[in-house]
Chain A
Amino acid sequence: MTLVKETPVRPAGKRSAAPAAGRRGRRRENLAGYLFMSPWIAGFLLLTAGPMIASLYYAFTSYNLFTPPQWVGLDNFTTMFQDPRWQKSVEVTLKYVVVATPLKLLLALGVALLLAQKRRGQGLYRAAFYMPSLIGASVSVGFVWRALFSDDAIVDRGQKVFGLDVGGWIGNPDYVIYALVALSIWQFGAPMVIFLAGLKQVPRELYEAAEVDGAGPLRRFWNITLPMISPVLFFNVLLESIHAFQVFGSAYVVSDTRCGPADATLVYTCYLYQKGFKEAQMGFASAMAWTLVVAVALVTAVLFWSQKKWVHYEEAAK
């Protein structure tokens, strides 16, 4: 029962003493590994790898879903890079990722730190803060967001207090993206919960020891909390970035399905969706999808590379 509390914090590169060393042990480990993995492997081959290869092939074809795909080489990619709407969708998406992700994570972490303290009503707050994430990108979110960010609604009245007179954001191509950002931030529940779970895992003894050493709250946060929750922080940064790149539902409902006005909320997947499912240009859509895959893979690679510098795992193996 007390095992957990005595866990050393940093395994510091300690190698695992693998049970039953030797070739037979290794073979058994391999077998066990693949047995445990078998559902994933089946799913990967059937539902991911197969379709992936198909779509990769489509990316180099002209394919309207009805007649067999025709090889066109790099045509889709060259058309795409010159396509003003594609360029617009990249611009919109980057703006969204860069603005929304850090703000959302900052808020999630801040609130998680607040809620990690034992206070009266804490559970209630937690549940209430999670509420927006439960609603997701449902039609009612579309209604309420369009209403909140219209002329003379609460946001407009609020901004007028600060001397900003731009009117409603929803109909304004220059501002509507920030309504989307606001929606993303409003739904900070998921990363908050993950942060909270991470915070709970931090052994109290560490804080107590630090306090004895006379460390203030800021230093405790910097030296204990942050390193200890770095795996979940990494997880949140990674997942929220990827999700932001792939955002679709909220742009769809906030713009009343059109990703407008004037393409101002034409996030990448929305354009992909229009091309693929409205215009049946599956070749083009697949090329778009794979370009997104490569872009997000680059971002992920950078994050994974950087984690060596700031993420601490209990597990030493790797």
Chain B
Amino acid sequence: MGTSRNVERRTILKAAGASAATLGLAATTGCGGGSGSGDGTVTLRYAWWGGEPRTIAIKKTIALFEKKYPKIKIKPEFTDYEAFWEKFQTQASGGNPPDVFQNAVGFLRKYDKRGVLMDLKSQADAGNLSLDDFRNGVLANGQVDGKQIGIPVGANTMALVIDLKAFKKAGVEAKFGWTWDEYFDALQTIQDKLKIAGDTGYFSIMYLYDLYLRQNGKAFFTDTDLGFTEDDLTQWWEDGYKRVRSGLVADPKKVEQVKPKSALSAGLAASEFTWDNFSIRYEGEGESDYGLAPIPTTDGKQTGQYLGSLMLSAFSGTKHPKEVAQFIDFMVHDPEVGKIMGYDRGILATTEQYDAFTPTDANNKGVKAYEEEVAKADVLGKITPHPSGADVIEAAFLRIGGEVAQGKTKPADAAKALFSEAKAAFAG
């Protein structure tokens, strides 16, 4: 208690000063994204989601770009898919999204409606960005109401991933034009012979139901609404639940507990529907060999498939629209970029890049062969609209489908719940 009062005060002042200084210091390092500096150098924020291989590849392409455009600096921001969209939403709502960012079909209208996305047509007209040389009409994936709000970097399509060893052992074969009945018969054979389920839970995947609807002259979405009835969906989920109970579809309890691993790579089932460019994960996770197989059909011909895309979009409020356009142009057209990126975001979207890259590994070769076969079979249709809220509905479809699988919700109630949630999502 004998210490001098002055000393104490000095100490506390020093502590307070130190903390203030730290705060001040941090404040001066504030964000410099989207701003220009005196010498005409422009900095663009570029954000994407994805794993380490994608990030490393993109960083290489950025270095190429900066070499060619020394006056434009790119500030990368990257994270995983879930975090990306949460972050994007907060940033965009605060008027502070990245200048350029990776985008997907399901988010286009949502952020167009909110005024976040730039119409790149004017930049194309100004000659800063070429809209030529896109393959198979994928450029349309980035168009909404006559505006070009996304520029595709790749093309992908839904596929059936199968456990090759299991299919072979059971003596069943997947072939183009096979019907749903033939597919489920094959699964039945697998179940009988190998005592594993045939599928991991097809009926909860929105994009697969979309294909089924397209095979039957409908689609999951119209411009503003759902493109099917409650009865349609009730039927779809009733059939699904029936197959869960018969063991044709894997036990949802087991599927749940191996997550985040896929039930296919965990060996619980022999097939799973997903996007073709995601198929690399099965090799990484599982012990078997996996391959891409055709989507079952209703009429023996139409799979309902179409090409989807990952895209690059730009912020409508960017201070540097010209540089943004130049950057996107480089990223989608430069052959070197195509060579570096490969099929990580789907088959390369422009002919320059597609021709520049020759796949060498089995997975990329498989993806290429698959999309070529699909194209040859002439089953690719036009993409149907994805209204604002499609992302939320996709999640709801997966969740409610899971409740049906667990026997916690009756298919009819589940369909009702989805329609009610969809209504809220469209309104949001």
Is B10 on the interface with A (CB-CB < 8 A)?
A: no
Is B71 on the interface with A (CB-CB < 8 A)?
A: no
> Please, which residues of chain B bring their CB within 8 A of the CB of A99?
none
CB proximity of B138 to chain A, nearest CB, Å:
28
Chain A interface category by residue count:
20 to 34
> Please, which residues of chain A bring their CB within 8 A of the CB of B399?
258, 260, 263
A261 touches B252 (CB 8 A): yes
Interface residue ranges of B344-374 to A (CB < 8 Å): none
CB proximity of B341 to chain A, nearest CB, Å:
28
Is B114 on the interface with A (CB-CB < 8 A)?
A: yes
Instruction: Give the CA-CA distance A122 to B237 in the complex, in Å.
Output: 58
Contacts A173-B406, A262-B402: A277 and B257 contacting too (C-beta < 8 A)? no
Interface with A: B85-93, B179-187, B284-292, which one?
B85-93
Contacts A173-B406, A262-B403, A280-B89: A167 and B253 contacting too (C-beta < 8 A)? yes
Contacts A279-B425, A280-B428: A257 and B82 contacting too (C-beta < 8 A)? yes
Instruction: Give the CA-CA distance A42 to B146 in the complex, in Å.
Output: 50
Is B408 on the interface with A (CB-CB < 8 A)?
A: yes
B425 touches A66 (CB 8 A): no
Is A286 on the interface with B (CB-CB < 8 A)?
A: no
Is B260 on the interface with A (CB-CB < 8 A)?
A: yes
Is A168 on the interface with B (CB-CB < 8 A)?
A: yes
CB proximity of A39 to chain B, nearest CB, Å:
10
Is B259 on the interface with A (CB-CB < 8 A)?
A: yes
Is B409 on the interface with A (CB-CB < 8 A)?
A: yes
Is A146 on the interface with B (CB-CB < 8 A)?
A: yes
Which single member of A151, A277, A281 contacts B428 (CB below 8 Å)?
A281
> Please, which residues of chain B bring their CB within 8 A of the CB of A64?
114, 428
B392 touches A278 (CB 8 A): yes
Is B417 on the interface with A (CB-CB < 8 A)?
A: yes
Instruction: Give the CA-CA distance A261 to B408 in the complex, in Å.
Output: 10
Is B378 on the interface with A (CB-CB < 8 A)?
A: no
The residue of chain A having its C-beta at the shortest distance from the C-beta of B421 within the complex is: A85
B392 touches A256 (CB 8 A): no
The residue of chain B having its C-beta at the shortest distance from the C-beta of A166 within the complex is: B253
> Please, which residues of chain A bring their CB within 8 A of the CB of B86?
277-278
Interface residue ranges of A280-299 to B (CB < 8 Å): 280-281
Instruction: Give the CA-CA distance A261 to B253 in the complex, in Å.
Output: 8
Chain B 87-126 near chain A by CB (<8 Å), digits 1 or 0: 0011011000000000000000000001110000000000
Is B255 on the interface with A (CB-CB < 8 A)?
A: yes
B92 touches A170 (CB 8 A): no
A146 touches B406 (CB 8 A): no
Is B424 on the interface with A (CB-CB < 8 A)?
A: yes
B402 touches A260 (CB 8 A): yes
A66 touches B114 (CB 8 A): yes
Contacts A257-B82, A262-B403, A262-B406: A65 and B89 contacting too (C-beta < 8 A)? yes
CB proximity of A175 to chain B, nearest CB, Å:
10
Instruction: Give the CA-CA distance A65 to B403 in the complex, in Å.
Output: 30
A170 touches B82 (CB 8 A): no
Is B283 on the interface with A (CB-CB < 8 A)?
A: no
B89 touches A171 (CB 8 A): no
B259 touches A256 (CB 8 A): yes
Residue in B93, B256, B260, B424 with the greatest tally of chain A CB atoms within 10 Å:
B256
The residue of chain A having its C-beta at the shortest distance from the C-beta of B427 within the complex is: A62
Chain A 142-162 near chain B by CB (<8 Å), digits 1 or 0: 000010011100000000000
Is B242 on the interface with A (CB-CB < 8 A)?
A: no
* Known A67-B114, A151-B254; further 14 A-B contacts with Cβ < 8 A: A65-B93, A66-B93, A171-B253, A171-B257, A256-B260, A260-B399, A261-B252, A261-B256, A261-B402, A277-B90, A278-B395, A279-B425, A279-B428, A281-B424
Closest 3 CB pairs of A and B: A171-B253, A171-B256, A65-B93
